[in-house]
Structure formats: structure tokens, C-alpha cells
Amino acid sequence: MESYSKRKRECPSSPESTQPSSFPDEVLERVLALLTSHKDRSSVSLVCKDWYNAERWSRTRVFIGNCYSVSPEILARRFPNIRCVILKGKPRFSDFNLVPHNWGADIHAWLVAFANNYPFLEELRLKRMAVNDESLEFLALNFPNFKVLSLLSCDGFSTDGLAAITTHCKNLTELDIHENGVEDRSGNWLSCFPESFTSLEVLNYANLSSEVNFDALERLVSRCKSLKVLKVNKSISLEQLQRLLVRAPQLVELGTGTFVQELTPRQCAELESAFNNCKNIHTLSGLWEATVLHLPALYPACSNLTFLNLSYAALQSGELAKLLAHCPRLQRLWVLDTVEDKGLEAVGSNCPLLEELRVFPADPFDEEIIHGVTEAGFLAVSFGCRRLHYVLYFCRQMTNAAVATIVQNCPDFTHFRLCIMNPGQPDYLTNEPMDEAFGAVVRTCTKLQRLSVSGLLTDLTFEYIGNYAKNLEVLSVAFAGSSDWGMQCVLGGCSKLRKLEIRDCPFGNLALLSGLEKYESMRSLWMSACKLTMSGCRRLAREMPRLNVEVMKEDGSDDGHADKVYVYRTVAGPRRDAPPSVLTL
């Protein structure tokens, strides 16, 4: 641990501590410094005043799940020695364009507070925050020790802001900017790394589209001997990839560029040889437009593969099967539904160690598509991959019986996210609601932490959830339920619930207000296109002053209706940066 900044002792005596601490404070701090889990630290801080202090002085990493639950000032007051901040902003449904664009979660105020209080800040990981170029420049110029920048699902910045980071952050080890709403003006940002810069360990710019200067990239990769993670974007060709691999055989995570190109036989051999030398790769992604022609070049690098992300490669079942035959150790697999049920059968046959499967739809908005995956594919995976505990599955048909069998095969699900893409669709064989499917899930999977439901669902589903899903922390509901009772069951029964997000369900004020006591133990509640009214929301706000109740109105909706409601606990009081369309009650 580095030396702490000089600290002033707080008043040691307090009515709460009944015994003097048996350790000198420094020892206690040293011990507590070894604690990494946020939950553990929170528990420790509640033991007594001395432990609270020791914990706060020794904490260097802080995780804030909702940026509005606390203010930068409060944070700085409590934790004087923070080096790493993980901050999440907008509600998750902003990923699907349900949150107004200017809703908030701007990082800038935080950065200013950090510059004042944590000048030695090293690491910043942001999710769903609004970040603009000015903020990135501020970050680059005010934190000389800055090492790690990870931005996920953020927006508001351009590649100019990235250029500020690459120009000024001399100690950068990680730059991970995938899946953001970046205004991609050019690839120049990469060329801004100085020639003397060698500390990079992680570079992920997979979702940008501009071409970077390849020579600059190649030189960068050559001189950064500690580079472990390299995820390039589509504009990198196979030939260029080969040249990069040759310079970085030590890579542990690789994201390729476009995986198709006319290559001479010699070039093919060189590519295969380059992959052959990369024996440490355990994560592989990218693979845009990968075809049967070039996938075999990968095979030599797959023996230690544990995570294969094919969600940008529209593979067919045969291609997938051939590839999986070379990946015996696979634990996590992301695919597009172009592989179809047959491809998933291959998953079941080839990947006995599989723990996580995500199947994304290649063509989610086209109802003419009659393929994709069905319950058969999911079943096949469940028979072959008994260790499966995380699934995200987009499909167009499902049956109650299939889900019941699936969870019988794989009772250890912690994350079960099933998306039947047609809203409110019943069991396609029996025409019944999908209640029994999710009933089976919550009854059988006692470790379930996260659940997303879909299909035609009545209140019975939510009765099941409330009765059985005792470890459930996150629940996502859309186009489901029959009445307030459904939501009441969940609020009443799921004691560990932290996040509840609901859209387009017939839940109204009665349901909302039944959770009055509950919301302070949760991080947040989102309800949109439900039956809430302004008066119900106002009542909630009145009764629970430690909650922020935000209502987002749509143009043209009638005044009494609360279109989008976001409720979250906070110690920072109502926020002052809300745009006019967001009312804090």
C-alpha cells in the first residue's frame, strides 16, 4: 500500500464504542486494507466507530451503483484515500432508448471533486454515464497517476476526447471504450500515444468504426510488452491482424477485426502460424463476418479458450460445430441465433464445462424471419452443459415444458434471462401463459439472483417469484402481469431484491405504494408505461423523503399520468441537475 495522506484524527470517543479498540488503529487499517469486497467493507464499517474509521481510511476502491445515491462531496468526506472509482449512472433501460437523452449522470462534477480530493486517482470505471470531451480532457490533465479508464455504455464524447487521454496520460495501462455512444470522428486518437509510451496492458476499441493508423498501432503493440488485452475494431484486416499477433504472442484476450479477406495460401499459413504462437489466449471476440474459409486459422489458439464471443459473427451451425470442437475448455459462449438449434446442439455436445451462454438475435426486428433458435436449442444445451448457470436467450418461441426440463437439467442458474421476442406470446404448443415456465425456474433454481421474464404472463408468475425467489436481486419485467397483485407479490416476497425494472405492465399506484418500506432497501425501481399517476408518485415521495422519485413525462401524454418513473434511495437529496422533462417530486 502506498503511504496515506496525512490525516487528522477524528474524535475518538463516542457513545457507540463501548470498549476501546484492542488494536492500534494502524494495525486495524492494515488488516482492513486487505479486504477487497465492497460488501465486506460495508459490513465492517458498521461494527463500531473505530472500525468505521479504520475502514474509511483504508478503503481505496469504491463502487457506487447509482451516481445519484451519494454526492461527490459526501464521498470525499468519508473516504479520503480513494484510488479507484466505479460509477454507474443511468437506469439500465437507457440502453434501449427509454430514458431521455439529457437525463443526467454527468461525470464532470465528480471529476472536479476528485481533482480536489483524490489527485492521485488511478482508475475510473464508468457505466451509463454522460461523458463529454471536456471531461475527458479534464481527466487527462488533472490526474498524473491516472492508469485505467473503462467506459461502458457511456455517451456524449467523441474520439477527440480519447485523443486527450492518449496524449496526456503517461501512465495509462488500460483504455477500454467498447460499447459506447462515441462520435467517431477519426482514428487519430491512437496515434497520439507518444513513442515513449510503453505501459499499456489493455486496449479495447472494438466498437469504434474509424480506421486507426495501422503503423502507429503496430508500433504501439510492439513496444508495450505488457499488453495482455487487445481488441481492435472492424477496420483491421486479417493481414493486419497477423502482423499484430506476431508482435504480441503474449496476449491473453484478443478481439480480432474483420475476419474475412482474400488471402494467398502463404498469407493463410502465416495467419495460422501466428495464432499457433498465441497459446495464452483465453478470450476471443470480434470475428466480424467470419466464415468457414478463415475460421480454421483460429483453431490452434483455441485450446485454452474459456470465453468465445461470436456475437458479431453470423455463423451457421456447421461452422460453429467445427470451431467448438477445438474449444474443449469453453466456459462462456456468446453467439448469434444464426447458428440455430443445430448449432446449439453442437454446443451441448462439445462444451461440457460451459457455464454461460448468450444467444443474441441476428435480426430482431424482422418478423419474417422464421428461424433463429427455439426451445429445442436451449434444451439441447441444458442436456449437454450441466454447469450452465448464466443464460441470456432471445428466441421466438418457447414452451413451459421445455423450461421446466431445462432447469431440471441445470438447477444452478444464478442468471436466467429469457426474451421471447414477441411481447406477450404464450406457450406456442399449449397456448397457455408462460407462468409455469418461470414458476419452474424460481422453484428449482434456489440460487437465482437475476431474472428477466417474457411471454404471456399473468399474476401467477409473480406469485411464484414472490414465494420462491428468495435470493433474487434483479428482476426485469416487460408486457406481463394482470393486476397490481403481481407486483405486490414481488415486493412482498423477494427480500433480497435490489433492482426492479418494469415496462408496459398493468401495475398502478396500489402496487407502487405497497413497496413503501421496501424501496429504501433497494437500489432502484423503474416503471414505464404502467398505470402510475402523478398523485401516486407524489404520495410516495411525501412518505419516503429518503427516496428520490423522478417522473419523466412524454410530450402529449395527459397530465395525471406518470409515464416513466424512477425511484431510488439516496443520501444526497434531490438532484439539482435534472433537465426540465424530469420532475423530482
Partner 1 sequence: MMEAHKPDREMSASGSVSTVSREDNLVVSSEDSSSPDDSELELGLELSLGGGGFKQQATSGGHYARILTAKDFPSVVSSSSSLSSSSSSLSKTNHVTAGTKRSADSVAAAANATSQVVGWPPIRNSRINCTVVNQAKSIANEEYNSVIEKNKRKNTVLEKITNSCNNGGNAKGRTSLFVKVNMDGIPIGRKVDLNAHSCYETLAQTLEDMFHRPTTTVNAFRSSLQEHDIRVEATRPSKLLDGTSDFVLTYEDKEGDWMLVGDVPWGMFLISVKRLRIMRTSEANGLAPRLQESSWRQRNKPV
Q: Site for partner 1 (CB under 8 A): which residue of 271, 344, 362, 442?
A: 362
Find, among 415, 413, 367, 374, the residue nearest to 397 by Cα.
374
Find, among 339, 276, 334, 273, the residue nearest to 306 by Cα.
334
**In this structure, what is the dihedral angle of CA atoms 568, 574, 576, 578, given to the nearest 10 degrees?**
40
Over the window 535 to 574, marking each residue x when it contacts partner 1 by CB under 8 A and - when it does not, the resulting string is -------------------xxxxx--x-------------
Q: Which residue lies nearer to partner 1 by CB, 29 or 436?
A: 436
Beta pairing, strands 450-452 & 474-478: parallel
The interface with partner 1 within residues 36-75 (CB under 8 A) comprises none
Beta pairing, strands 356-360 & 332-336: parallel
* Listed ranges 12-20, 22-30, 389-397, 401-409: which one lies at the site for partner 1 (CB under 8 A): 389-397
Rule CB under 8 A: is residue 405 a binding residue for partner 1? no
**In this structure, what is the dihedral angle of CA atoms 527, 523, 445, 392, given to the nearest 10 degrees?**
60
Rule CB under 8 A: is residue 239 a binding residue for partner 1? no
Beta pairing, strands 253-255 & 229-231: parallel
d(CA 334, CA 357): 6
d(CA 426, CA 424): 6
Q: Site for partner 1 (CB under 8 A): which residue of 3, 97, 196, 264?
A: 97
CA distances (Å), origin 83, targets 1, 79, 125, 282 = 11, 10, 11, 29
Q: Which residue lies nearer to partner 1 by CB, 296 or 506?
A: 506
Residues in the chain: 585
Question: Residue 579 CB, nearest distance to partner 1 (Å)?
Answer: 15
Rule CB under 8 A: is residue 340 a binding residue for partner 1? yes
Rule CB under 8 A: is residue 490 a binding residue for partner 1? no
Residues 6+ apart with CB under 8 A from 442: 448, 451, 464, 465, 467, 468, 469, 472
Rule CB under 8 A: is residue 515 a binding residue for partner 1? no
Rule CB under 8 A: is residue 511 a binding residue for partner 1? no
Q: Site for partner 1 (CB under 8 A): which residue of 69, 311, 471, 570?
A: 311
Rule CB under 8 A: is residue 312 a binding residue for partner 1? yes
Q: Site for partner 1 (CB under 8 A): which residue of 368, 559, 571, 580?
A: 368
Question: How far is Cα of residue 94 from the mean position of the Cα atoms in its chain?
Answer: 13
Rule CB under 8 A: is residue 261 a binding residue for partner 1? yes
Q: Site for partner 1 (CB under 8 A): which residue of 365, 559, 571, 580?
A: 365
Rule CB under 8 A: is residue 93 a binding residue for partner 1? yes
* Listed ranges 302-310, 501-509, 518-526, 567-575: which one lies at the site for partner 1 (CB under 8 A): 501-509
Rule CB under 8 A: is residue 363 a binding residue for partner 1? yes
Q: Site for partner 1 (CB under 8 A): which residue of 26, 95, 520, 543?
A: 95
72 neighbors 49 (Cβ within 8 angstroms): no
Q: Site for partner 1 (CB under 8 A): which residue of 81, 173, 256, 317?
A: 317
Over the window 268 to 307, marking each residue x when it contacts partner 1 by CB under 8 A and - when it does not, the resulting string is --------------------xx-xxx--------------
Rule CB under 8 A: is residue 481 a binding residue for partner 1? yes
The interface with partner 1 within residues 162-201 (CB under 8 A) comprises 178-181
DSSP category for residue 258: B
Q: Which residue lies nearer to partner 1 by CB, 3 or 431?
A: 431
Over the window 416 to 455, marking each residue x when it contacts partner 1 by CB under 8 A and - when it does not, the resulting string is ---x-xxxxxx-xx-x-x----------------------
d(CA 107, CA 79): 19
Rule CB under 8 A: is residue 207 a binding residue for partner 1? yes
The DSSP secondary structure of 193-257, one letter per residue, reads: S-TT-----EEE-TT--SPB-HHHHHHHHHH-TT--EEE--TTS-HHHHHHHHHH-TT-SEEE--
Question: Residue 191 CB, nearest distance to partner 1 (Å)?
Answer: 24
Phi/psi at 29 (nearest 5 deg)?
A: -65, -40
